Amino acid sequence: MSPQDDAPEEYRQTRYEAPPGATELLLIRHGASRPARPDIPFPLVDGQGDPDLAPEGREQAAQVGERLGAEPFDALYVTPLRRTAQTAAPLAKRLGLTPAVEAGLREVHLGEWEGGLFRKKVAENDPIAQRMWAEERWDVVPGAEPGEEFARRVRESLERMAGAHPGGRVAAFTHGGVIAQALALATGSRPFAFLAPDNGSISRIVVLEGQLSVRGFNDIAHLDHPAPGALT
CATH of the domain at 62: 3.40.50.1240
pLDDT, tens digit, 9 for 90 and up, residues 193-225: 999 999 999 999 999 998 999 999 999 999 976
- 30 located within any domain: yes
Instruction: Note the pLDDT tens digit of each residue in 91-138.
Output: 999 999 999 999 999 999 999 999 999 999 999 999 999 999 999 999
In a domain? residue 9? no
Q: Give dist(CA 156, CA 154) in Å, integer.
A: 5
Number of structural domains the chain divides into: 1
Instruction: Give tens-digit pLDDT for 20-70.
Output: 999 999 999 999 999 999 999 999 999 999 999 999 999 999 999 999 999
Residue 138 lies in a domain: no
pLDDT exceeds 90 at position 10: yes
**Is 228 within a domain?**
no
| Separation of alpha carbons 93 and 66, rounded Å | 11
- The percentage of the chain sitting over the pLDDT mark of 70, rounded to a whole number, equals 94
Give a yes or no: residue 154 inside a domain: yes
- Say which residues have a Cβ less than 8 Å from residue 120's Cβ, sequence separation at least 6: 36, 38
What is residue 101's predicted lDDT score, i.e. its pLDDT?
98
Identify whether 122 is part of a domain.
no
- Give dist(CA 101, CA 161) in Å, integer: 11
Question: Is the residue at 133 inside a domain?
Answer: no
- What's the mean per-residue pLDDT of the chain? 94
The SS3 assignment for 84 reads helix
In angstroms, rounded to a whole number, what is the distance separating the alpha carbons of residues 100 and 76?
A: 6
* Residue 231: band (very low, low, confident or very high) from pLDDT cuts 50, 70, 90: very low
Q: For residue 115, is it within any domain?
A: no
**Is the distance from CB of 191 to CB of 136 less than 8 angstroms?**
yes
Tell me how many helices (H) and strands (E) the chain has: 7, 8
Integer Cα distance of 141 and 110 in angstroms: 7
Q: How many CB atoms lie within 10 A of CB 143?
A: 12
Domain that holds residue 40: 19-107+146-223
